[in-house]
A and B are shown apart, each in its own frame.
Chain A
Amino acid sequence: MSERKIGVYVCHCGGNISDYVDVEKVIDAVKGEEDVVVARTAMFTCSDATQQEIYDDIQQMGLDGLVVASCSPKLHTFTFRGVAKRAGLNPFRYTQVNVREQCSWAHTDDRLGATEKAIRLVRAGVARTRLLAPLEPTVVETVPKTLVIGAGIAGLRAAIGLSDIGLSVVVVEREAAVGGWVKEFGPLFPHEKEGRALIAQLEAEVRRRENIALFTQAEVVKKAGSFGNYVVDIRTHGKSSMTMQMEVGSIIVATGFDSYQPEEGEYGYGIDGVVTLPEYKKMLDEATGPLVYRGRPVKDVAYIYCVGSRQGEAGPHQYCSRFCCSAAVHSALELHGKDPSAHQYHLYRDMRTYGRYELMYQESREKGSLYLKFPESEPPAVQKGSDGRLLVTVRDQLTSQKEMQIPADLVVLVTGMVPRENDDLVKALKLPVGRDGFFNEIHPKLRPVETVVDGVAICGACQFPKTASESVASGLAAVTQSAAMLKQGRAELDPQVATADPELCTDCGTCYTTCPYDAISPMELPGGRRVASIAPATCKGCGGCAPLCPEHAIDLQGYTSAQILAMIDGLAREVV
């Protein structure tokens, strides 16, 4: 084994560790380990003073490996990588050992056991560090251009935001017209501005900008390359069908949603006069006074909420669609305005007009809307009455529990949002799809618009049901993320990726199809022999390909087989 110079630092964490683990004993036990040239304790390893001490040790002793035993790696990995880097030690030759969350705090009842465990953990850390090779981040130059997929309200607004920052934008829209759902609508909550007016304003702005190219009746069919340098194929339909190839640095997906389409017979859907929420909204927006449906005045309207949402274990749509309560109440207010004498009955499971939309709910009740809560186990039934009108049967949980019959001229099924069928796009971009069918972000709080595919962000209702305002807000969040990456002109990618050893590879082909990100492909060596090659900028570093290689030619850097085996040996060794 090559000689290494490793420094080990064990943290007291002001007592959080040293109250339950004898840190001096840990130092004594690892001091004599092969290649360990310095081992110290510190009250707080993350403090400036100790960081300086580590820095000095690296410089003066020429350390080529660093082990810090303190808190969870989720907290200070970047802190100590930074110390190493500043002092001239490759930051990937450092190991963080978790002796707080996974030792002292979990074993506050067993000082002896916790101390022994800490010794094993630190030994495993030293064993790994001994085998760590220096790694250099993959640096890629980025193309200052973003592809926006979907020209609904979120995509259009995002395109303008990117253009403002000085990035070029390509907007691709599948339909012939831009604007998505919002262009269909009249007044929207809040502020009553018409949806079609908002879209017209955004479209004019997009068309005016020289650094935005807009393609309608077009689809993204292929994506190659990696973050910063994606090459996308865009196919246009319509009059002239052609495929264009384009280089973009990042991609923002804003493909929106589909409205839930009720099954035939679901709450009477299919009977004349039973309509979905978007169908109803269209009728309302077109009416200049009291509503008329097929020549008959609409005097009684019954709304049935949660259609296609919160379906429980049985249905595919278990989530709450969030916008529909407020949208239905807003529509009711629109009708109260156009025809104050109309009777409106809202049959709901739970009303969720969250935030300031609660005020619309209150206003609708003041204007005469009646709300009846039905039990989930006993949904309302809709049938055709003998007089040709509709008859809704419902049990109101909050009053007499008696079954009531409501005659209605129109029954509005308050339908939610469902994920849009986008299989080809999902395949082309490798988008992560959640169990509910919507696209998944990396972290709902800290990285709410980024996906695991570097440089591909999601926004709007393709992520989960959102109102127009929420969609635009997430669109602008995606703009910030894209711009933050592209404005630097270069990006550093994590070098802890999979590598294939050409000496061991036999070109058996097993790994070529295993990577969902297409990071592995055959490559010809100078001698003509073909071996597997893994693109470092495309590899996500999951390591899923490694155990599938029959020749053990694939290793995940930072987690190589040799390193993990050494850690296992380190953990297993008897303490005394």
Chain B
Amino acid sequence: MAVHLEAEAKATDQGFKPRILVFSTNNISDPGIDLAGSAHMHYPTSVTTIALPCTSGINPEWIVRAFKQGFDGVFIASDGEECAYLTDCAERSAQIFERAQKELEEREIAPARLKMAAICSVCAEPFTKYMREFSQMLTELGPVRKE
């Protein structure tokens, strides 16, 4: 797998490297992302993360700003059912997600550029897989600035 990853990394080196902004949560998904690093699991360096207490606090305008500034994709690493603050965190985060997608549609940005998935505190492998797949998909879509 390591060889395959290096090959993939080299391939993307040649040209377009999609920029991905991840929103994580301090207690659940950010530790999962940390774990990926602790295990030296690789994902593209064009992925950068901002950690928040809870994904239900994301303002859709932040997502719009990210695309405006040249991020090609935004990934919400949510807590799923595990949020310690809000029992309806998943529903609230889904509403934020929908509001953001509407905003993107209005700006003719492909809704597929915004993704959300639950990442648990030990979800290192799933996270790196999501990042590789999302990066691959965004590479096929091309840079956001062209849209």
Contacts and interface: CB of A to CB of B under 8 A. Distances in A.
B110 interface: no
A432 B84 contact: yes
B31 to A, nearest CB: 6
User: How many interface residues does chain B have, given as a range?
Assistant: 35 or more
A572 B42 contact: no
Contacts of B59: 546-547, 552, 561, 564
Which secondary structure dominates chain B's binding surface? mixed
Interface string A425-443: 0000000110100001010
B48 A435 contact: no
Contacts of A336: none
Contacts of A541: 53
B65 A452 contact: no
B52 A543 contact: yes
Contacts of B31: 72, 74
B64 to A, nearest CB: 10
Contact of A568 (B43, B62, B85, B99): B62
A330 interface: no
B50 A124 contact: yes
Interface string A92-110: 0000001011111111111
A225 interface: no
A516 B91 CA distance: 14
Interface string B52-76: 1110111111100110011100000
User: How many interface residues does chain A have, given as a range?
Assistant: 35 or more
23 contacts: A72-B30, A72-B31, A74-B31, A98-B49, A101-B34, A102-B37, A102-B49, A104-B37, A105-B40, A106-B40, A109-B5, A109-B9, A110-B9, A110-B42, A117-B48, A435-B81, A452-B84, A541-B53, A542-B86, A547-B96, A564-B62, A569-B65, A572-B19
Interface of A: 72-74, 98, 100-110, 113-114, 116-117, 120-121, 124, 432-433, 435, 440, 442, 452, 496, 516, 540-544, 546-547, 552, 556, 559, 561, 564-565, 567-569, 571-572
6 nearest A-B residue pairs (beta carbon): A543-B57, A113-B45, A572-B69, A542-B85, A101-B37, A106-B37
Interface of B: 5-6, 9, 19, 21, 26, 30-31, 33-38, 40-46, 48-54, 56-62, 65-66, 69-71, 81, 83-89, 92, 96, 99
